[in-house]
Chain A
Amino acid sequence: MSERVRGAMGKSSRRKWHFAGEASGLEIRDLTVTYETEAASLDTVRNVSLDIAPGEIYGLVGESGSGKTTLARAVVRYLPGNGRIKGGTVRLDGVDLLELTKAEVRRVWGSDITMVHQDPNTSVNPSMPVGEQIAEMARVHLRLPKPEARRKAIEMLTKVRMSDPATVARRYAHQLSGGQLQRVLIAIALTTNPRLLIMDEPTTALDVTTEAVILDLVRDLLSEYQTAVLYITHNLGVVARLCHRVGVIYAGEMMEQGPIRGVFKEMLHPYTLGLLGSVPRVDVDKRDIVLNTIPGYIPQPDNLPVGCIFAPRCRGVEEACRTARPPLVAADGEAGHLTACRRWQALRREPEEFTTTQQKKDFVEPTTGDVVLEAVKVKKYFPVSGVGLLDLLRGRRPVVRAVDDISVRVRKSFTMGIVGESGCGKTTLARCIAGLEKATSGEILLEETKLPSTIAKRPADLLKKIQMVFQNPDASLNPHHTVGASVARPLALLRHLSKAQIQERVEELFQAVNLPRDYIARLPHELSGGEKQRVAIARAFATDPALMICDEPISSLDVSVQASLMNLLAELQDTKGTSYLFISHDLAAVRHLSDWIAVIYLGRLWEIGSALDVFTPPQHPYTEALLSALPIPDPDARQNRIRLHGNVPSAVHIPSGCRFHPRCPRKIGEICEKEEPPWQEHRRGHRICCHIPVEELIEKQKVGGR
């Protein structure tokens, strides 16, 4: 269906308006969107203009609160009840979408404009087979009778490279993985060959390996379509991999816009520069650089600065920046490169003036130092819930082998990074070490003392030596206590300090995590996400722990906030000599902060070594695939295209031989299915668990080699 089918559907005869014969794409001019609240009208998106040509993928990047989702919802006329389009025009192939009546808009939805949403797990109707959800698009918009619509659904599933499409079509949402569901949603969105496709963070909820597969699919698939694509994301790496042009939106206004290479290689706005500088890179780490941070906060729509809206956070601000709002102007050089910075020429000449990225001093060799934590052969099996009566009678108790024989060692003032896809067992391992979960077997030693298995059995002086920072600060801080009280709690419980001493110590801790003193008396809801996480870090440091376990501590935050927290963690480690166990699915963050990295898949360790060794060949094929999937914010980045297909097998029915063999892109043969792979020592404690000899891995993993 590469030909446009609209004429054949006879729609135009019933419409008062017509899409132009010649497709001209999406054209947004001076769009302003307002939310009416009890207090005020908030102009959340202001005077945004952008064009997307047919067949072009336009990336709209911004942090949370930048108005990117509001913009998308305004374009499709699907704003919440208190939202209103205050001004501007939105034209799609010549038709002004803002002029259409409600009923007309509904006819445009699904046929001319389609959308793919963020969370595939909640965007698919749970009580209808997925094939039917594609087929109804074909029935309603393409007017196909039932059997043909069903065939169309299977055709679309084939198109999104679903294996066994006919079977999948009969499945329900709960029977499919997130990656499969996102394919279904893409299939739905492309069924009618729309003029405009809006994708709102379509891969954010997915694992990095799944994300890579979906991004490949989207890029390859869209090259066949003449659809204009608005791709919304906060991830600069995804934009660099996928998009033709990019717009950077900040607090509801466009800051910079241009072709992908122009914006990434020669950014002309300090905000773009700041964002790119905040993203950790895989070629340097905490010992080489301090990440760039953007101080301050995104301004609220009812409290905007008079001049440039980025001025209060800009390093290169001048007096003139604060007096008048600079317009979006065309810079010379590459065509269509626009910037809202009046100092763009200065920025191009001396970008250093605009960032805080700094080179750091020399570092210690990461193989020395006392061992702080040693986990030996830790196993954690969970019983499967809802075991059938028959299984019980037969004496079979299926178990989830969440952690299955993992040993790691963390040295003093080092960071051990643990990476793996979701469900690989990394969090369970951390919880066993922290004593929140009773390990099924294995030993955990802290400074050569064997730790009792659970927190309840650990005495106070052991408890204070291991502290934890969790992923979601909203859930880990008591909303009814002031944040100061939360930080004071471990001091009173574990260190038995007097009131005055506690007060003094809390102040010190707040200073150490760069929070102003008056924050001590605030409640969690008065703080931003990044600030709350700083409080959680202060609380963890309150007892001067020897080991701090950070379980995805930055994953729910914006990139610039992530950068400042990573800098803070690195700085605190430098001054206090604390060891970290840093768990994350974000490879770049792990690479930045870790001295050593352990790679986990299905409850087992597959590769361990210094951060540099793990990130350069030879690598375990799983590590290689993770790294190859990582979206790097550089359109010229050269990465081998190693992709993992299929879903992570369940930890109940673990594959025989090498557990990774069903998905391994470098499987060598029967040996992988039958025998457990051996550990091979590469160098300096860099070890890989694989049947392929190290020398062969080096050869295979050269860039460009296959």
Chain B
Amino acid sequence: MTIYLLRRIGFILLTLFLASIIIFAATQALPGDVAQVMLGQFATEEAVANLREELGLNRPAYVQYFDWLGRFITGDWGNSMVSRQPVRPLVVARIRNSAMLAMMALLFYVPFGILFGVIAALNREKPLDQIISGFSMAFVGLPEFVTGLLLISAFAFALAVLPANSSIAPNTSFREAFPSLILPAVTVSLTSLGYVTRMTRASTIDVLNTDYVRAADLKGLPRVQVLTRHVLRNSLLPTVTVVAMGIGYLIGGLIITEAVYGYPGLGRLLVYGIQRRDVTLIQACSMIVVTVYSLSNLIADILYSILNPRIRYR
């Protein structure tokens, strides 16, 4: 197990290294000169040249790359090219916000997704299954700005129980942020809920049809015990993977939902950086998103190997 973990971690480091090269190359390839953008259209040639020198943009690309990578690893994420302020506090605050929203969303859609999936599987082809399957398909298909606006008009305006705008101040505590988190979390959940439900339903149906579940039934175990000990243990394996893979998306990919509610998450920060060609900010945000993706994959693999004894730790 230890060797397996070490191997996996080594693999993640390799992934991150490759990703950093790609991210760096991509930011280099962005159209327009950073110094020119920063100084505006009417800056003199001289001023631009001076700034380029100051920012180290005249050095060879690989020197710039290793310089950036070294600083990034040691915690110096650089200054914003637009505001000239260090980007780290900004990014860290956004990571915290995104993590809060991600956790809320997971707490919503994972239990419900599994529950609905199992209920649908147990009532396969019956009305209950058709209702659940129908709804989960519909929510997977509906874009977040539609569900988001519907929820806002219902709960923020018609019922007026929750805030429509979730633009919380930096470092708001979870308790204070809680009401602002509900609507964005539900919006995100509605989309992901469908995936979890359908995945759980399909794998549970497969497991219910296996010989060993038939054998467990005929052992005369109470139905609940057959379900928890023999069915779910095996049928939730694919769901674990789907959920863990979703964490990366929740941290870095909720651009639309964050926009609808004005929620200050990492996704919106990344878009903001791209709009202003803030190379440092883009690099920091992208690296964080890649790291979260890799780590959630690792978590998925570890959970999978704990739940599935057939996986050998190679």
Contact = CB atoms under 8 A, between A and B. Distances in A.
A595 B299 CA distance: 60
Given A127-B307, A128-B230, A386 B212 contact: no
Interface stretch (B65-73, B190-198, B219-227): B219-227
Contact of B229 (A136, A141, A386): A136
A211 to B, nearest CB: 19
Interface in B178-234: 210-212, 214-223, 225, 229-230, 233-234
B104 to A, nearest CB: 31
A185 B219 contact: no
Nearest to A386: B314
Contacts of B214: 78, 117, 123
Contact of A126 (B7, B212, B216, B225): B212
A174 interface: yes
Contact of B234 (A108, A115, A123, A125): A125
A107 B221 CA distance: 8
A127 B217 contact: no
A169 to B, nearest CB: 14
A136 B215 CA distance: 13
Interface in B228-251: 229-230, 233-234
A117 B229 contact: no
Given A125-B234, A126-B309, A127-B308, A136 B218 contact: no
* Secondary structure type dominating chain B contacts: helix
Interface residues of A, number: 31
B219 A188 contact: yes
A122 B206 CA distance: 13
Contacts of B211: 117, 119, 122-123
A127 B221 contact: no
A137 B221 CA distance: 8
B310 interface: yes
A172 B212 CA distance: 13
Contacts of A123: 211-212, 214-215
A114 B217 CA distance: 10
A140 interface: yes
A172 B234 contact: no
Given A125-B234, A127-B233, A109 B310 contact: no
A397 interface: no
Given A128-B229, A128-B230, A185-B215, A111 B220 contact: yes
B309 A127 contact: yes
B225 A140 contact: yes
A110 B234 contact: no
A172 B219 contact: no
Contacts of A76: 218
Interface residues of B, number: 24
Contacts of B307: 127
Contacts of A113: 218
A198 B310 CA distance: 30
A128 B212 CA distance: 11
Nearest to B233: A127
Interface in A109-156: 109-111, 113-115, 117, 119, 122-128, 136-137, 140-141
Contacts of B222: 106, 140
Nearest to A141: B220
A573 B69 CA distance: 75
Contact of A109 (B219, B225, B309): B219
Could you say which of B220, B221, B233, B234 has the most chain A C-beta atoms within 10 Å of its C-beta? B220
B216 A125 contact: yes
Could you say which of B210, B215, B233, B308 has the most chain A C-beta atoms within 10 Å of its C-beta? B215
Nearest to B219: A110
A109 B230 contact: no
A109 B212 contact: no
B217 A78 contact: yes
A107 B219 CA distance: 9
A388 interface: yes
Interface string B296-314: 0000000000011110001
Interface in B276-314: 307-310, 314
B215 A110 contact: no
A111 B220 CA distance: 7
A140 B216 CA distance: 12
A445 B60 CA distance: 65
B314 A388 contact: yes
B132 to A, nearest CB: 20
Contacts of B215: 115, 117, 123-125, 185, 188
Contact of B310 (A107, A114, A126): A126
Nearest to A122: B211
Given A174-B310, A388-B314, A124 B212 contact: yes
Contacts of B314: 386, 388
Nearest to A194: B220
B233 A109 contact: no
Contacts of B220: 106-111, 140-141
Given A127-B234, A388-B314, A78 B218 contact: yes
A110 B218 contact: yes
A379 B214 CA distance: 43
Given A106-B223, A125-B230, A136-B229, A114 B212 contact: no
A136 B212 CA distance: 14
Interface string A75-102: 0101000000000000000000000000
B212 A122 contact: yes
A114 B314 CA distance: 39
Contacts of A172: 309-310
Nearest to A192: B220
A39 to B, nearest CB: 19
A76 B221 CA distance: 15
List the 5 shortest-distance A-B pairs measured between CB atoms, nearest first: A110-B220, A109-B220, A122-B211, A110-B219, A172-B309
5 contacts: A110-B219, A114-B219, A119-B211, A122-B210, A125-B233
Interface of B: 7, 210-212, 214-223, 225, 229-230, 233-234, 307-310, 314
Given A128-B229, A388-B314, 6 more contacts: A76-B218, A113-B218, A122-B211, A125-B230, A140-B220, A386-B314
